[in-house]
Amino acid sequence: MSNHDRLFQPLKIGPVTLRNRFIRAGANEGMVYQDAPSKALLHHHRAMAAGGVGLTTVAYGAVSDVGCTLQAQVWLRPEILPELKALASAVHAEGGAISYQITHGGSFITSRRVKGATLSAMNGFNKAGFLRGNLFHRAMNRADMEQVAGQFVNAARVCRDAGFDAVEIHMGHGYLLNQFISPLSNRRKDEYGGSALNRVRFPAEVLARVKAAVGDRMAVIAKINVADGVPGGATVEDGIVTAQALEAAGADLLVLSGGRNIESGWFMFGSNFDMAEMQKVLRGNWLTGLMLKASQSGVPKVEFREMYFLEYSRRIRQAVKVPLGYLGGVSSLDNARQAMADGFDAVVMARPLIHDPGLVNRFRSGEATRSGCTHCNRCVPYIYHPAGTWCVMNPPNDPALNRQRASA
């Protein structure tokens, strides 16, 4: 079978079979109304499914109220089951499968004020949240870990009851579980700190708990960093240990990303943010704008290159047997074929599909062999826009859809 044909063959992950190997990556959409999915979010992911992806990932469903990073973010709870069911049904009607990315911000709470110190792997000054008054974070104890693990399980059960096919536990980019994995934010002296294996212990416990609770009906995916991309951060050797631990814990698929929101966003995206577009969108929201501007201090100039995580991801591919999704700079059909040739099981994209939700169908038909996305990153600021994320090369979203619940 050619690598082209393999791209369009079904993929079994846990109890779920995807119609092909293309996955829409979880990336914040900013499409939330009253802490629930909006009609805009439903339209967005229905378009992904209609456009041919095997699995579309709804981004950042917080497992608790205090786990939300942004103001406009879904908090997964039974009260919003009608909205979640509407979202899942819309994707299924187009022949696609749907996953919810579940996570907890920990100390990375940037747009909300949290009562008391935010949770993290260790005590310290909260550089991500101090502008919102979240001055400090505190080290989680065993009672905290038990509570948070239970919140992940409850969120996964809500997604299961809504008809979702998978959950993706976010363990990268500087959110709570990554705050354990990364030595940038974990210098604990107990069994949850020190070695790379100890640092992934709590995230692996969370995944095992979720798997035991819902794994008979849903795929359990984890998104991890191949590396943090900055000195003192997690290396690809740490990424290998993380992948091996999660494989042992029962992960059905690992999505390989990289970078941290504060320390290395440029590494995550493979290119720099467009700060002019960011400032335009955030006009009037000076606190968030100031925080984002400060995060760019000392950032290297990075020119986008295709498949920018490939060498890191190949190292992890050689070390584990669990199915892996390649993410990072897939811009063409040839890039996707390269991922298949290197032994990856799925191709994971966000920006090219935000630019063109029908890209997978165009790849299949031969109408297109390359995405029109320029990886300019000007879509990124629109997670803060009243209409939600869109590609600036396309017509803007209808903001009215973002003021209605998905079940309306």
The set of catalytic residues is: 175
Grouping H, G, I as helix, E, B as strand and the rest as coil, residue 181 is helix
The number of residues making up the chain comes to 408
Q: How far is CA 282 from CA 3, 119, 290, 299, in A?
A: 43, 27, 10, 20
8 Å CB contact between 348 and 48: no
d(CA 18, CA 9): 9
Tell me which amino acid residue 318 is: Q
Q: What is the 3-state secondary structure (H, E, C) of 70-137?
A: CCCCEECCHHHHHHHHHHHHHHHHCCCEEEEEEECCCCCCCCCCCCCCEEECCCEECCCCHHHCCCEE
Which residue, among 310, 348, 315, 362, has the nearest Cα to 25 in the 3D structure? 348
Which residue, among 159, 181, 161, has the nearest Cα to 171 in the 3D structure? 181
Residues 6+ apart with CB under 8 A from 336: 7, 21, 22, 330, 347, 363
d(CA 259, CA 146): 27
Q: What is the CA radius of gyration of the chain?
A: 19
d(CA 167, CA 220): 5
**Given phi > 0 = left and psi -120 to 50 = alpha, else beta, which region is 95?**
left
d(CA 297, CA 279): 15
Tell me which amino acid residue 65 is: D
User: Half-sphere exposure of 83 toward its Cβ, with a 13 Å CA cutoff?
Assistant: 26
